Amino acid sequence: MQFIEHKGAKVPALGLGTYPMQGEQCYQAVRWALDIGYRHIDTAESYHNEDAVGRALEDSGVPRSEIFLTTKCALFDASAANVGAEFAASLDKLRTDYVDLYLYHWPHAEVPLDETFGALTEAKDAGQVRHIGVGNFTIALMREAVEVHKVDLFTNQFESHPLLRQPKVEAAAHRLGMTVTAHSPIARGRAVDNPLLAEIGAKYGKSAPQVAIRWQLDKANTFLVPKSTRREGLTANFDVFDFALGDDDRAAIETLPNNMRGSRPPFEPDWDPID
Ligand SMILES: NC(=O)c1ccc[n+]([C@@H]2O[C@H](COP(=O)([O-])OP(=O)(O)OC[C@H]3O[C@@H](n4cnc5c(N)ncnc54)[C@H](OP(=O)(O)O)[C@@H]3O)[C@@H](O)[C@H]2O)c1
Protein backbone atom coordinates (compact mmCIF):
# COMPACT_ATOMS: atom_id res chain seq x y z
CA MET A 1 0.00 0.00 0.00
CA GLN A 2 1.07 3.55 -0.63
CA PHE A 3 0.32 6.13 2.03
CA ILE A 4 -0.10 9.88 1.84
CA GLU A 5 0.86 12.00 4.80
CA HIS A 6 -1.14 15.19 5.00
CA LYS A 7 -2.12 17.52 7.83
CA GLY A 8 -0.88 15.02 10.43
CA ALA A 9 -2.74 12.02 8.96
CA LYS A 10 -1.20 8.99 7.26
CA VAL A 11 -3.81 7.72 4.84
CA PRO A 12 -3.86 4.79 2.37
CA ALA A 13 -3.84 6.32 -1.11
CA LEU A 14 -6.19 3.62 -2.41
CA GLY A 15 -9.62 3.39 -0.83
CA LEU A 16 -12.92 1.67 -1.52
CA GLY A 17 -15.84 3.60 -3.04
CA THR A 18 -19.24 2.32 -1.98
CA TYR A 19 -21.72 4.05 -4.30
CA PRO A 20 -24.24 2.76 -5.41
CA MET A 21 -23.97 -0.44 -3.37
CA GLN A 22 -26.79 -1.11 -0.96
CA GLY A 23 -27.60 -3.42 1.94
CA GLU A 24 -26.06 -6.89 1.91
CA GLN A 25 -24.12 -6.22 -1.29
CA CYS A 26 -22.41 -3.22 0.31
CA TYR A 27 -21.86 -5.08 3.59
CA GLN A 28 -20.21 -7.98 1.75
CA ALA A 29 -18.02 -5.73 -0.40
CA VAL A 30 -16.73 -3.82 2.63
CA ARG A 31 -16.05 -7.09 4.50
CA TRP A 32 -14.14 -8.48 1.49
CA ALA A 33 -12.25 -5.22 1.05
CA LEU A 34 -11.14 -5.17 4.69
CA ASP A 35 -10.10 -8.80 4.38
CA ILE A 36 -8.03 -8.01 1.27
CA GLY A 37 -6.31 -5.14 3.09
CA TYR A 38 -8.25 -1.97 2.24
CA ARG A 39 -8.20 0.48 5.16
CA HIS A 40 -9.82 3.54 3.55
CA ILE A 41 -13.59 3.53 2.95
CA ASP A 42 -15.67 6.20 1.19
CA THR A 43 -19.40 6.56 1.78
CA ALA A 44 -21.98 9.37 1.97
CA GLU A 45 -25.27 10.13 3.64
CA SER A 46 -26.92 10.18 0.22
CA TYR A 47 -25.65 6.69 -0.69
CA HIS A 48 -28.08 5.20 1.85
CA ASN A 49 -25.50 2.56 2.74
CA GLU A 50 -23.86 3.98 5.86
CA ASP A 51 -25.64 1.40 7.97
CA ALA A 52 -24.19 -1.47 5.88
CA VAL A 53 -20.74 0.13 6.03
CA GLY A 54 -21.03 0.57 9.80
CA ARG A 55 -22.07 -3.07 10.33
CA ALA A 56 -19.24 -4.32 8.11
CA LEU A 57 -16.66 -2.24 9.96
CA GLU A 58 -17.93 -3.46 13.31
CA ASP A 59 -18.17 -7.14 12.32
CA SER A 60 -14.73 -7.15 10.68
CA GLY A 61 -12.99 -6.73 13.99
CA VAL A 62 -10.49 -4.35 12.36
CA PRO A 63 -9.69 -1.67 14.95
CA ARG A 64 -11.46 1.58 14.12
CA SER A 65 -8.15 3.42 14.51
CA GLU A 66 -6.73 1.50 11.50
CA ILE A 67 -9.45 2.70 9.14
CA PHE A 68 -9.72 6.03 7.37
CA LEU A 69 -13.47 6.59 7.06
CA THR A 70 -15.00 9.28 4.87
CA THR A 71 -18.62 10.32 4.71
CA LYS A 72 -20.34 13.27 3.04
CA CYS A 73 -23.25 15.59 3.67
CA ALA A 74 -25.46 17.99 1.80
CA LEU A 75 -26.17 16.41 -1.54
CA PHE A 76 -29.40 18.42 -1.73
CA ASP A 77 -29.57 20.73 1.32
CA ALA A 78 -26.47 22.54 2.57
CA SER A 79 -28.21 24.48 5.35
CA ALA A 80 -26.54 24.28 8.76
CA ALA A 81 -29.62 22.67 10.30
CA ASN A 82 -29.65 19.89 7.71
CA VAL A 83 -25.89 19.29 7.85
CA GLY A 84 -26.08 19.00 11.66
CA ALA A 85 -28.95 16.50 11.45
CA GLU A 86 -27.29 14.47 8.69
CA PHE A 87 -24.03 14.30 10.62
CA ALA A 88 -25.64 13.00 13.81
CA ALA A 89 -27.49 10.34 11.81
CA SER A 90 -24.32 9.39 9.89
CA LEU A 91 -22.34 8.73 13.08
CA ASP A 92 -25.19 6.62 14.36
CA LYS A 93 -25.43 4.50 11.20
CA LEU A 94 -21.65 4.15 10.91
CA ARG A 95 -21.50 2.95 14.54
CA THR A 96 -18.62 5.23 15.35
CA ASP A 97 -18.07 8.37 17.37
CA TYR A 98 -15.95 10.10 14.72
CA VAL A 99 -15.22 10.15 11.01
CA ASP A 100 -11.76 10.81 9.63
CA LEU A 101 -13.01 12.96 6.79
CA TYR A 102 -16.31 14.76 6.38
CA LEU A 103 -17.01 16.20 2.92
CA TYR A 104 -19.40 18.84 1.73
CA HIS A 105 -20.61 16.55 -1.08
CA TRP A 106 -21.67 19.01 -3.83
CA PRO A 107 -21.61 22.83 -3.76
CA HIS A 108 -24.96 24.64 -3.60
CA ALA A 109 -25.05 28.26 -4.68
CA GLU A 110 -28.19 29.06 -2.67
CA VAL A 111 -26.62 28.48 0.76
CA PRO A 112 -23.68 30.74 1.72
CA LEU A 113 -20.45 28.76 2.04
CA ASP A 114 -19.94 30.24 5.52
CA GLU A 115 -23.10 28.58 6.75
CA THR A 116 -22.24 25.09 5.51
CA PHE A 117 -18.61 25.29 6.57
CA GLY A 118 -19.75 26.62 9.95
CA ALA A 119 -21.67 23.37 10.51
CA LEU A 120 -18.75 21.22 9.34
CA THR A 121 -16.31 23.14 11.52
CA GLU A 122 -18.59 22.72 14.52
CA ALA A 123 -18.40 18.93 14.13
CA LYS A 124 -14.63 19.15 13.81
CA ASP A 125 -14.33 21.37 16.88
CA ALA A 126 -16.42 18.84 18.81
CA GLY A 127 -13.82 16.15 17.98
CA GLN A 128 -16.27 14.12 15.89
CA VAL A 129 -14.51 14.90 12.59
CA ARG A 130 -10.75 14.74 12.08
CA HIS A 131 -10.67 16.63 8.76
CA ILE A 132 -13.13 18.44 6.56
CA GLY A 133 -13.13 18.61 2.79
CA VAL A 134 -15.21 19.27 -0.27
CA GLY A 135 -16.52 17.40 -3.26
CA ASN A 136 -16.92 18.58 -6.84
CA PHE A 137 -15.60 22.08 -6.11
CA THR A 138 -14.33 24.13 -9.03
CA ILE A 139 -11.14 26.19 -8.83
CA ALA A 140 -13.14 29.35 -8.04
CA LEU A 141 -15.06 27.60 -5.25
CA MET A 142 -11.90 26.09 -3.76
CA ARG A 143 -10.32 29.54 -3.74
CA GLU A 144 -13.38 31.11 -2.14
CA ALA A 145 -13.45 28.47 0.59
CA VAL A 146 -9.74 28.69 1.42
CA GLU A 147 -8.86 32.32 0.65
CA VAL A 148 -12.07 34.10 1.64
CA HIS A 149 -13.60 31.83 4.27
CA LYS A 150 -10.23 30.56 5.58
CA VAL A 151 -11.42 26.94 5.81
CA ASP A 152 -8.73 24.34 6.38
CA LEU A 153 -9.63 21.76 3.73
CA PHE A 154 -8.07 18.29 3.55
CA THR A 155 -9.17 17.30 0.05
CA ASN A 156 -11.35 18.03 -2.95
CA GLN A 157 -13.01 14.86 -4.22
CA PHE A 158 -13.86 15.20 -7.90
CA GLU A 159 -14.16 12.99 -10.96
CA SER A 160 -10.79 12.03 -12.41
CA HIS A 161 -9.72 9.14 -14.64
CA PRO A 162 -7.80 8.62 -17.89
CA LEU A 163 -10.87 9.74 -19.85
CA LEU A 164 -11.33 12.95 -17.78
CA ARG A 165 -7.97 14.56 -17.01
CA GLN A 166 -7.99 17.82 -15.10
CA PRO A 167 -4.42 18.87 -14.23
CA LYS A 168 -5.37 22.52 -13.65
CA VAL A 169 -7.98 21.62 -11.03
CA GLU A 170 -5.48 19.25 -9.42
CA ALA A 171 -2.77 21.92 -9.37
CA ALA A 172 -5.17 24.46 -7.83
CA ALA A 173 -6.17 22.02 -5.08
CA HIS A 174 -2.52 21.36 -4.24
CA ARG A 175 -1.67 25.07 -4.33
CA LEU A 176 -4.47 25.68 -1.83
CA GLY A 177 -3.08 23.04 0.54
CA MET A 178 -5.46 20.22 -0.38
CA THR A 179 -5.00 16.70 -1.56
CA VAL A 180 -7.01 15.39 -4.51
CA THR A 181 -9.38 12.44 -4.23
CA ALA A 182 -10.28 10.92 -7.59
CA HIS A 183 -13.84 9.67 -7.70
CA SER A 184 -15.02 7.28 -10.42
CA PRO A 185 -11.36 6.44 -11.20
CA ILE A 186 -12.39 3.63 -13.58
CA ALA A 187 -14.67 6.08 -15.41
CA ARG A 188 -17.69 4.34 -13.89
CA GLY A 189 -16.69 1.18 -15.73
CA ARG A 190 -16.01 2.82 -19.10
CA ALA A 191 -12.24 2.39 -18.68
CA VAL A 192 -12.62 -1.39 -18.35
CA ASP A 193 -12.71 -2.09 -22.09
CA ASN A 194 -10.52 0.76 -23.24
CA PRO A 195 -8.17 -0.73 -25.89
CA LEU A 196 -5.24 1.58 -25.16
CA LEU A 197 -5.35 0.97 -21.39
CA ALA A 198 -5.64 -2.76 -22.09
CA GLU A 199 -2.64 -2.62 -24.45
CA ILE A 200 -0.55 -0.78 -21.85
CA GLY A 201 -1.64 -3.24 -19.17
CA ALA A 202 -0.70 -6.25 -21.32
CA LYS A 203 2.96 -5.18 -21.12
CA TYR A 204 2.86 -5.59 -17.33
CA GLY A 205 0.40 -8.49 -17.02
CA LYS A 206 -2.25 -6.04 -15.78
CA SER A 207 -5.78 -5.10 -16.88
CA ALA A 208 -7.13 -1.77 -18.12
CA PRO A 209 -8.70 -0.87 -14.72
CA GLN A 210 -5.41 -1.65 -13.00
CA VAL A 211 -3.65 0.75 -15.39
CA ALA A 212 -6.27 3.43 -14.63
CA ILE A 213 -5.64 2.94 -10.90
CA ARG A 214 -1.84 2.95 -11.22
CA TRP A 215 -2.04 6.16 -13.29
CA GLN A 216 -3.69 7.93 -10.32
CA LEU A 217 -1.34 6.38 -7.76
CA ASP A 218 1.62 7.84 -9.63
CA LYS A 219 0.35 11.39 -8.96
CA ALA A 220 1.51 13.22 -5.83
CA ASN A 221 -0.94 13.69 -2.96
CA THR A 222 -3.75 11.92 -4.78
CA PHE A 223 -6.20 9.41 -3.32
CA LEU A 224 -8.61 7.31 -5.31
CA VAL A 225 -11.70 5.32 -4.40
CA PRO A 226 -12.62 2.72 -7.04
CA LYS A 227 -15.68 0.61 -6.38
CA SER A 228 -16.32 -3.06 -7.12
CA THR A 229 -19.10 -5.31 -5.90
CA ARG A 230 -17.06 -8.42 -6.67
CA ARG A 231 -14.29 -10.00 -4.62
CA GLU A 232 -12.21 -10.54 -7.80
CA GLY A 233 -12.66 -6.88 -8.74
CA LEU A 234 -11.67 -5.69 -5.27
CA THR A 235 -8.64 -8.00 -5.32
CA ALA A 236 -7.54 -6.89 -8.79
CA ASN A 237 -7.92 -3.21 -7.90
CA PHE A 238 -5.67 -3.75 -4.88
CA ASP A 239 -3.06 -5.64 -6.92
CA VAL A 240 -1.42 -2.51 -8.31
CA PHE A 241 1.63 -1.99 -6.12
CA ASP A 242 4.06 -4.19 -8.06
CA PHE A 243 4.33 -2.30 -11.34
CA ALA A 244 5.02 1.20 -12.61
CA LEU A 245 3.90 3.02 -15.74
CA GLY A 246 6.57 4.46 -18.01
CA ASP A 247 6.70 8.00 -19.38
CA ASP A 248 5.66 6.53 -22.75
CA ASP A 249 2.56 4.98 -21.14
CA ARG A 250 1.59 8.29 -19.53
CA ALA A 251 2.15 10.12 -22.81
CA ALA A 252 -0.06 7.60 -24.62
CA ILE A 253 -2.84 8.08 -22.03
CA GLU A 254 -2.69 11.84 -22.74
CA THR A 255 -3.88 11.08 -26.29
CA LEU A 256 -7.16 9.53 -25.10
CA PRO A 257 -10.42 11.51 -25.47
CA ASN A 258 -10.79 13.82 -22.47
CA ASN A 259 -14.49 14.42 -22.23
CA MET A 260 -16.10 11.50 -20.40
CA ARG A 261 -17.61 13.20 -17.36
CA GLY A 262 -20.03 10.73 -15.80
CA SER A 263 -21.34 12.72 -12.79
CA ARG A 264 -23.68 15.40 -14.16
CA PRO A 265 -26.49 16.01 -11.66
CA PRO A 266 -28.92 18.88 -12.34
CA PHE A 267 -27.20 20.95 -9.63
CA GLU A 268 -23.68 20.55 -11.07
CA PRO A 269 -21.45 23.63 -10.74
CA ASP A 270 -20.07 25.62 -13.63
CA TRP A 271 -17.21 23.19 -14.28
CA ASP A 272 -13.73 24.41 -15.11
CA PRO A 273 -12.87 24.01 -18.79
CA ILE A 274 -11.25 20.67 -19.53
CA ASP A 275 -7.54 21.12 -20.16
N1 LIG B 1 -18.15 12.79 -4.59
C2 LIG B 1 -18.95 12.44 -5.56
O3 LIG B 1 -19.78 13.24 -6.03
C4 LIG B 1 -18.85 11.07 -6.16
C5 LIG B 1 -19.48 10.78 -7.38
C6 LIG B 1 -19.34 9.49 -7.91
C7 LIG B 1 -18.61 8.52 -7.22
N8 LIG B 1 -18.04 8.83 -6.01
C9 LIG B 1 -17.25 7.83 -5.25
O10 LIG B 1 -16.33 7.19 -6.15
C11 LIG B 1 -16.53 5.78 -6.07
C12 LIG B 1 -16.16 5.10 -7.37
O13 LIG B 1 -16.85 5.66 -8.44
P14 LIG B 1 -17.90 4.85 -9.31
O15 LIG B 1 -18.47 3.74 -8.51
O16 LIG B 1 -18.79 5.89 -9.89
O17 LIG B 1 -17.05 4.28 -10.52
P18 LIG B 1 -15.66 3.50 -10.73
O19 LIG B 1 -15.07 3.06 -9.46
O20 LIG B 1 -14.89 4.37 -11.64
O21 LIG B 1 -16.14 2.25 -11.59
C22 LIG B 1 -16.99 1.27 -11.04
C23 LIG B 1 -17.36 0.33 -12.18
O24 LIG B 1 -16.20 -0.35 -12.64
C25 LIG B 1 -16.38 -1.77 -12.48
N26 LIG B 1 -15.10 -2.33 -12.02
C27 LIG B 1 -14.43 -1.96 -10.91
N28 LIG B 1 -13.27 -2.66 -10.81
C29 LIG B 1 -13.21 -3.47 -11.89
C30 LIG B 1 -12.28 -4.43 -12.34
N31 LIG B 1 -11.13 -4.67 -11.68
N32 LIG B 1 -12.55 -5.10 -13.50
C33 LIG B 1 -13.68 -4.86 -14.18
N34 LIG B 1 -14.62 -3.96 -13.81
C35 LIG B 1 -14.38 -3.27 -12.66
C36 LIG B 1 -17.49 -1.94 -11.46
O37 LIG B 1 -18.21 -3.11 -11.70
P38 LIG B 1 -18.27 -4.27 -10.57
O39 LIG B 1 -18.87 -3.64 -9.35
O40 LIG B 1 -19.13 -5.30 -11.20
O41 LIG B 1 -16.87 -4.73 -10.36
C42 LIG B 1 -18.36 -0.72 -11.76
O43 LIG B 1 -19.21 -0.96 -12.86
C44 LIG B 1 -18.00 5.65 -5.68
O45 LIG B 1 -18.27 4.35 -5.21
C46 LIG B 1 -18.13 6.72 -4.65
O47 LIG B 1 -17.61 6.27 -3.41
C48 LIG B 1 -18.14 10.09 -5.48
Per-residue pLDDT tens for 71-93?
A: 999 898 999 999 999 999 999 99
Q: Per residue in 2-53, pLDDT tens?
A: 999 999 999 999 999 999 999 999 999 999 999 999 999 999 999 999 999 9
Q: Which atom of ligand 1 is nearest to the CA of 226?
A: 19
Confidence check: pLDDT of 275 > 90: no
Q: Band of the pLDDT at 134, cuts 50, 70, 90? A: very high
Q: Per residue in 246-272, pLDDT tens?
A: 999 999 999 999 999 999 999 999 999
Q: How far apart are CA 122 and CA 33, in angstroms?
A: 32
Residue nearest to atom 1 of ligand 1 (CA): 135
Choosing from 184, 216, 229, 232 the residue with most ligand 1 atoms within 8 A of its CB, the one to mutate for a pocket test is: 184
Handedness of CA 128, 135, 59, 48 (dihedral sign): positive
- The CATH code of the domain at 3-191+216-243 is 3.20.20.100
Main-chain dihedrals φ then ψ at residue 40, nearest 5 degrees? -140, 115
Q: Per residue in 89-129, pLDDT tens?
A: 999 999 999 999 999 999 998 999 999 999 999 999 999 99
Region 180-190: mean pLDDT is: 98
pLDDT of 189 reads 97
Q: How far apart are CA 132 and CA 56, in angstroms?
A: 24
User: Taking the model in full, what pTM does it have?
Assistant: 0.97
In the chain, alpha helices (H): 23-36, 50-60, 80-94, 113-125, 139-143, 167-175, 195-204, 208-217, 231-238, 247-253
Q: Where are the domains of the chain?
A: 3-191+216-243
Task: Indicate the DSSP class of residue 151.
Answer: -
Residue nearest to atom 43 of ligand 1 (CA): 189
CB neighbourhood size of 267 (10 A): 12
Helix, strand or coil, per DSSP, at residue 76: coil
- Percent pLDDT > 70 in the chain is 100
Q: Among 47, 98, 102, 204, which one carries the catalytic annotation?
A: 47
Q: How far is the CA of 89 from the centre of ligand 1 (A)?
A: 25
Confidence check: pLDDT of 142 > 80: yes
Of the candidates 262, 216, 219, 257, the residue with the CA atom closest to the CA atom of residue 240: 216
* Amino acid identity for residue 96 in this structure: T
Q: Which atom of ligand 1 is nearest to the CA of 183?
A: 10
47 is catalytic: yes
Q: How far is the CA of 189 from the centre of ligand 1 (A)?
A: 6
Q: Per residue in 197-238, pLDDT tens?
A: 999 999 999 999 999 999 999 999 999 999 999 999 999 999
